[in-house]
Amino acid sequence: MVKETAFYDTLGVKPSATPEELKKAYRKLALKYHPDKNPTEGEKFKQISQAYEVLSDPKKREVYDRGGEKAIKEGGSSSGGGGFASPMDIFDLFFGGGSRMHRERKGKNVVHQISVSLEDLYNGASRKLSLQKNALCERCEGRGSRKGAAQMCMLCHGSGMQVRVHQLAPGMVQQVSTVCQGCQGQGQRISQKDRCKACGGRKILRQKKILEVHIDKGMRDGQKIVFHGEGDQEPGLEPGDIIFVLDLREHPQFTRNRDDLMMSMELQLVEALCGFQKPVQTLDNRTLLVTSHAGDLIKPGDTKCIVNEGMPKHRHPFEKGRLIITFTVVFPKANFLPNPKLKELERYLPERKEAERPEGMDDDLYIYADLEDCNLESRRRRRSHYYYMEEDDYPGATGVQCQTS
């Protein structure tokens, strides 16, 4: 029993959620509320990141379940210390952004979500996507001016940052680093007349880029397709990556479980007893004739499989999983046969097992009880209604009164 569910509610999952369900929930919410897409949802993005940071770590999750967010902030005994990591660090690590030191030399990654069908993952597919990205100005080669025209900013001495010292108390000072206002963090200054006419001294231009995304057979929901070095370009930095994340849409007939496909099939009682042949349309438009021979009894809830008719395995597309079918059996309606016909049908069914009767007990001592339909849900609602009825609901009802003199 968990103490509080706020983190689970933030991710939209139940407290019993598996690690895979947590990953899927974080992936969808982080992409939706990322500051690049929703600049006004920074606080929401932070809450999502904090919830995932805690619940994705088994030790922190145990501490949270036991003591709530307060226990996490206090650095519970097995949580490895209190506090939270940067939301952007969590996002970059989740989507393959690497360590912070590496990111300082590399531009940030751009993550996009691609909605795919189960047919796309079964047969493979290609998508051409048009994107806008920052590219170094070709005219000035990313300098922002003609060669040699840029001068080092004398306010920050080329670092792009200014350090200010504040005295907090006698003998106590604080150093604060801020972006240089003189060069806007560029480390150099360019006069108006020397600025590149193409980019206006910005060093970069917006560029349209068309990428062809190949979805291989057997890929999975949430799998990443990475285009290395195709992200935004910045002077002095290695370009980041463009990452596409596959988001599987729900299929009306099949669900996927690793390399297996799951489906349900409804049978009439006669089909379950006497055999059947039912067509099933596959994801590559073939037709399987699912066959059960006479005498192969199918019981309600039975599970059968067809080998090599599941999902192709990624990078080994000629190897496939299983098609797993769970059966439900529909029984005929009451009184579907007259009594003489039922007696005749009984002759072909296995014999009844007679109930054991206490020795020496006469038939007239039994109390015969007939079965009736029972609706438990309506009974619960009726009881709940009775529990919440108050005294005012009974006209003319009066409570006990004390006589005063």
Taking only the tens place, the pLDDT of each residue in 341-359 is: 988 888 888 888 877 766 6
What is the DSSP code string of 281-303?
E-TTS-EEEEEE-TT----TT-E
Handedness of CA 333, 335, 337, 339 (dihedral sign): positive
Higher pLDDT, 363 or 12: 12
Which residue has tokens 């285009």?
Answer: 227
Residue 277: pLDDT band by 50, 70, 90 thresholds?
A: very high
* SS3 state of residue 190: coil
Please compute the mean of the pLDDT values over residues 249-254 and round it to a whole number: 96
Calpha distance 263→252 (Å, rounded): 10
**Structural Rg of the chain based on CA atoms:** 35
Residue 361: pLDDT band by 50, 70, 90 thresholds?
A: low
Which residue has tokens 């669900």?
Answer: 255
% of the chain beyond a pLDDT of 70: 85
Q: Measuring CA to CA, which residue among 214, 208, 247 is closest to residue 128?
A: 214
Q: What is the 3-state secondary structure (H, E, C) of 143-175?
A: CCECCCCCEECCCCCCCCEEEEEEEEECCEEEE
Quick check: 402 pLDDT over 70?
no
pTM above 0.85, yes or no: no
Residue 99: pLDDT band by 50, 70, 90 thresholds?
A: very low
Higher pLDDT, 49 or 397: 49
* SS3 state of residue 26: helix
Quick check: 98 pLDDT over 70?
no
Left if phi > 0, otherwise alpha if psi is -120 to 50, otherwise beta: which for 49?
alpha
Calpha distance 389→394 (Å, rounded): 9
Please compute the mean of the pLDDT values over residues 241-256 and round it to a whole number: 94
| pLDDT reported for residue 75 | 64
Q: How many CB atoms lie within 10 A of CB 174?
A: 10
Q: Are 306 and 292 in contact (CB under 8 A)?
A: no
Calpha distance 282→286 (Å, rounded): 5
Q: How many CB atoms lie within 10 A of CB 251?
A: 16
Buried b vs exposed e over 260-282: b needs ≥16 C-beta within 10 Å?
bbbeeeebeeebbbeebeeebee
Quick check: 200 pLDDT over 90?
no
Quick check: 174 pLDDT over 90?
no
Calpha distance 5→27 (Å, rounded): 19
Q: How far is CA 209 from CA 132, 135, 205, 232, 370, in A?
A: 6, 10, 12, 11, 75
Which residue has tokens 């009894």?
Answer: 297
**Tens of pLDDT, residues 36-77:** 777 788 888 889 999 999 999 888 898 888 888 888 877 644
CA distance from start to end of the chain: 56
Q: Are 11 and 55 in contact (CB under 8 A)?
A: yes
Buried b vs exposed e over 102-129: b needs ≥16 C-beta within 10 Å?
ebeebbbbbbeeeebebbbbbeebeeee
Burial class (CB in 10 A: 0-12, 13-18, 19+), 177: exposed
| pLDDT reported for residue 310 | 96
Range from 1-15, 178-192, 254-268 that averages highest in pLDDT? 254-268
Higher pLDDT, 405 or 230: 230
- Looking only at the bridges linking them, the beta strands covering 312-313 and 303-306 are unpaired
Q: Are 11 and 74 in contact (CB under 8 A)?
A: no
What value does the mean pLDDT of the chain take?
Answer: 83
